[in-house]
Amino acid sequence: MEGGMSQDLQEIAEGASISEWPLKNRIIASVVLAIVAVLSAFLLSGIFSSPDAYSKTIESLDSKKATVLALTAASTGASAALSAIPDDTCTPLAERLADLSGDFLVILTAIYLEKYLLTTFGFATFAILIPASCILTIGALLIRRRPGLRRPLARLAEKLALLGVALVLTVPVSVLVSDKIEATYEDSISNTIQAAQITAEAAEDTSEEAKRDEATNILEFFQQRVEDLANAAGSAAGALGDALEWVQNMIGNFIEAVAVMIVISCIIPILVLVFFLWIVKLILGVNVEVPMGMLRPGAVSRMVRRG
């Protein structure tokens, strides 16, 4: 008996037995679907296109934005301060720090894009895809003598509904996954920002000391200021060697932070969207072409810079 019910449900899902439904049942189903379409277009679309519906997700994205802005300010401040040290001793390192601003801009753009896609996907799903799915299903219910048209309508309705669900879930799920990754590197990113602030302050003090002609050795003074500030801040500076090694380690930490933020803000959302589209393809056979070249390292940054 259960096998027979499953077969009937499968036939109904495929649109094969819709024409066999009693007219009364098809009319009732059509009315229900029409109500769902109206509610989706005029009620749910307003709810799910409002930022209030995604308050926790937006809060998480704002936290990531604050982290990126802090990293940007720290790297820019450290770069400007290092470039002010006389004799161009730290100029190459300062230029390397300045180059990171382009990467931070890409990350910040991706975060803003995720915030906009939250409400955009919600509106597209409940104002367009779900009502269209309901209308197509109504058409499949009311068409009796043309099974060649009825079945494609029912199939397309399923595809639109599942695609809408996939779009609505993409950003919240990607943010949830990225939060787990970010929590692992939270201390490392905080230490990187603190090290950049120490470097900037030490470089400014070194520059001022050089202007007063009181420093006999610029690098020695810079190293001493780094150690004093790091010890005052509770950072381990004694085992890092000379001042240049301190700055090199700081730049390495910045590069690691950039890599983590790119994965969190750029790669994870793409992978989540690809995963959901793959699920839709697996269930309904939707042909999804994914530009895998976008997942290569630096591809997103190059694309933005070319634009």
The predicted pLDDT at position 306 comes to 54
Q: Is 84 helix (H, G, I), strand (E, B) or coil?
A: coil
What is the residue whose two structure tokens read 């109504």? Answer: 138
pLDDT tens string 177-214: 998 888 888 888 888 888 888 777 777 777 666 655 55
pLDDT tens string 239-279: 444 666 777 788 888 888 899 999 988 899 889 988 888 88
**Average pLDDT for residues 159-168, to the nearest whole number?**
91
Biggest alpha carbon–alpha carbon distance for the chain: 98
- Distance (Å, whole) CA 15 – CA 136: 11
DSSP 180-202: HHHHHHHHHHHHHHHHHHHHHHH
Compute CA distances 283 → 16, 124, 158, 223, whole Å. Answer: 18, 21, 10, 62
- Distance (Å, whole) CA 97 – CA 75: 6
DSSP 230: H
8 A C-beta contact, residue 227 and residue 221: no
56 pLDDT higher than 80? yes
Spell out the residues 6+ positions from residue 260 whose beta carbon is closer than 8 angstroms to its own: 181, 182, 185, 188, 189
8 A C-beta contact, residue 228 and residue 201: no
- Distance (Å, whole) CA 71 – CA 189: 8
Q: What are the boundaries of each domain within the chain?
A: 2-306
User: What is the average pLDDT value for the chain, to the nearest integer?
Assistant: 78
Around Cβ 119, how many Cβ atoms within 10 Å? 17
Q: Is 216 helix (H, G, I), strand (E, B) or coil?
A: coil
pLDDT tens string 207-233: 666 655 555 566 666 766 677 776 666
What is the residue whose two structure tokens read 């109904």? Answer: 12
HSE-up of 239 (CA within 13 Å, CB side)? 2
pLDDT tens string 104-134: 999 999 999 999 999 999 999 999 999 999 9
- Distance (Å, whole) CA 235 – CA 204: 19
- Distance (Å, whole) CA 251 – CA 249: 5
Q: What is the pTM assigned to this prediction? A: 0.75
pLDDT tens string 135-159: 999 988 887 666 677 788 888 898 8
- Distance (Å, whole) CA 9 – CA 60: 41
